[in-house]
Amino acid sequence: MIVTIDGVAASGKSSVSGGVARALGVPYVSSGLLYRAAALLALEAGVDLRDAPAVLGLLEGRGVRLEPLAEGNRVWLGQRELTADLHSTRVDKGVSAVAALPDVRAWVDAQLRLLPEPFVAEGRDMGTNVFPQAQAKFYLTASPRVRAERRAKERPEDIPAIEAALTRRDEADRRQITPAADALVIDTGPLDLQGVIDVILSTLPDCRS
């Protein structure tokens, strides 16, 4: 069983996926962390974020690995854990450039398709491209202001700066952020976190095995 939860930046994908996955007793898979790892490694190595062979070389040559645990995903570079470094403002700014590289997308997709079912997969193109066969698909939205207000609790910048950065990232990610035709689109603006999780779980009575 695969459930996909896609959506725009900071729409609640990882928090909601974690809650749904815990309720179902399965892991969740945060695809964005692999793109974030690609951006972090390129930034650390001083590699141009648009240089596909160089970025791919960093990913393939150095053993980048996603560990999709139910309690939270972790990313490893060999023995070094990258997870805590993946949600900085610097990585937020750079990640869309590496995610636009077809070779990097193919590498991420291949990692994800190796994972054993069942799981909840979250990202941008889980329901459209990576797991079109998923049994249930969701797409989360909320206005840029609502998302910025939520994210402001996790970042040092003020709400207008965060809102501008989220809008820029949505624009840079526009090729990946079309909902699957068979996804249920949920505006999370009027809902709290548990409310979104409950909407999803209420539509999944037949997917719990």
Ligand X SMILES: Nc1ncnc2c1ncn2[C@@H]1O[C@H](COP(=O)(O)OP(=O)(O)OP(=O)(O)O)[C@@H](O)[C@H]1O
Site string for ligand X, 136-175 (x = CB under 6 A): --------------xx-xx---------------------
Do you know the residue count of the chain?
209
Minimum gap (Å) between residue 113 Cβ and ligand X: 21
Two tokens, residue 107: 């590498």
SS3 94: helix
Which residues, 6+ apart, have CB-to-CB distance to 200 below 8 Å?
3, 5, 16, 20, 138, 184, 186
Binding of ligand X at residue 95 (CB under 6 A)?
no
Q: Considering only 4-12, 63-71, 93-101, 171-179, which stretch makes contact with ligand X by CB under 6 A? A: 4-12
Going by C-alpha positions, the residue among 100, 72, 105 that lies closest to residue 86 is 72
| Pick 86 or 200: Cβ nearer ligand L45E5XJ5 | 86
Q: What is the DSSP letter of 8?
A: S
Instruction: Tell the residue number behind the tokens 């997969």, with chain if given.
Output: 121
Phi then psi for 152, rounded to 5 degrees?
Answer: -60, -20
Minimum gap (Å) between residue 105 Cβ and ligand L45E5XJ5: 7
Which parts of this chain interact with ligand L45E5XJ5 (CB under 6 A)? 9, 13, 31-32, 35-36, 95-96, 99, 123-126, 169, 173, 176
Q: Residues forming the annotated binding site for ATP?
A: 7-15
